[in-house]
């Protein structure tokens, strides 16, 4: 599990871990950024190293966006773990085989909407705003954003950035 994680719950009861890096001062974007890993990966591909460490500052995309990068504009960064990944709730396949009867469509129709809804609800509680979000996806994390954005999901996306997605 991820230390200090927040959890978005899907309609089929998976608890998806989210690590948040919330800027407190400086020029802050009004749109949050959600970072999503690819197939066979986890949040570490977007958020490498322990927060505050030299490795984190050098190699973490989450750190780069949170700290303002080259532009000085800081983002409220949310690093997501999709179902079945170490940071998110997992189930014993022997005791709950039904929980593992899912496919990429579940990422698109359940995981992404649950993650985005959680982020927007959190913003509403804090700022009385429900902003659209930027989604940054690596490989499959970008591919599922394409599919999500083709439907009603486009109403909740400010933009999508993909890395290594066809």
> What digits encode the pLDDT tens for the residues 38-59?
998 988 999 999 988 999 999 9
Q: Is 1's pLDDT higher than 60?
A: no
Tell me if 1 is assigned to some domain: no
Tell me if 144 is assigned to some domain: yes
C-alpha 164/C-alpha 57 separation (Å) is 22
Tell me if 43 is assigned to some domain: yes
Of 18, 2, 3, the C-alpha closest to 112 is 18
Tell me if 134 is assigned to some domain: yes
List the CATH number of the domain containing 147: 3.40.50.1820
CA dihedral sign of residues 133, 137, 140, 143: positive
Mean pLDDT of 99-125: 95
How long, in residues, is the chain? 166
Tell me if 95 is assigned to some domain: yes
C-alpha 49/C-alpha 157 separation (Å) is 28
C-alpha 161/C-alpha 41 separation (Å) is 18
pLDDT value at position 21? 96
Q: How many Cβ atoms sit within 10 Å of the Cβ of residue 87?
A: 23
Q: Is 89's pLDDT higher than 60?
A: yes
pLDDT value at position 105? 97
Mean pLDDT of 140-153: 97
Domain that holds residue 98: 6-163
Tell me if 143 is assigned to some domain: yes
pLDDT value at position 3? 62
pLDDT value at position 2? 58
Q: Is 88's pLDDT higher than 80?
A: no
Tell me if 115 is assigned to some domain: yes
Burial 5-20 (b: 16+ CB within 10 A, else e): bebbebeeebbbbbbb
% residues pLDDT > 70 (the chain) = 98
Q: For the chain, what is the domain count? A: 1
Q: Is 100's pLDDT higher than 90?
A: no
């Amino acid at each position: 599990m991820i230390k200090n994680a927040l959890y978005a719950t899907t309609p089929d009861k998976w608890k998806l871990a989210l690590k948040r890096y919330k800027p407190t001062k400086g020029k802050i974007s009004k749109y949050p950024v959600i970072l999503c890993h690819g197939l066979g990966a986890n949040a570490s591909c977007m958020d490498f190293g322990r927060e505050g460490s030299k490795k984190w500052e050098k190699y973490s995309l989450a750190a780069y966006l949170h700290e303002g990068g080259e532009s000085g504009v800081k983002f409220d960064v949310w690093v997501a773990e999709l179902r079945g990944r170490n940071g998110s709730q997992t189930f014993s396949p022997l005791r709950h085989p039904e929980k593992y009867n899912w496919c990429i469509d579940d990422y698109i129709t359940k995981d992404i909407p649950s993650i985005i809804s959680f982020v927007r609800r959190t913003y509403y509680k804090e700022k009385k705003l429900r902003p659209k979000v930027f989604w940054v996806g690596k490989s499959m994390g970008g591919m599922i954003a394409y599919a999500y954005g083709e439907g009603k999901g486009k109403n909740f996306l400010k933009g999508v950035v993909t890395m290594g997605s066809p």
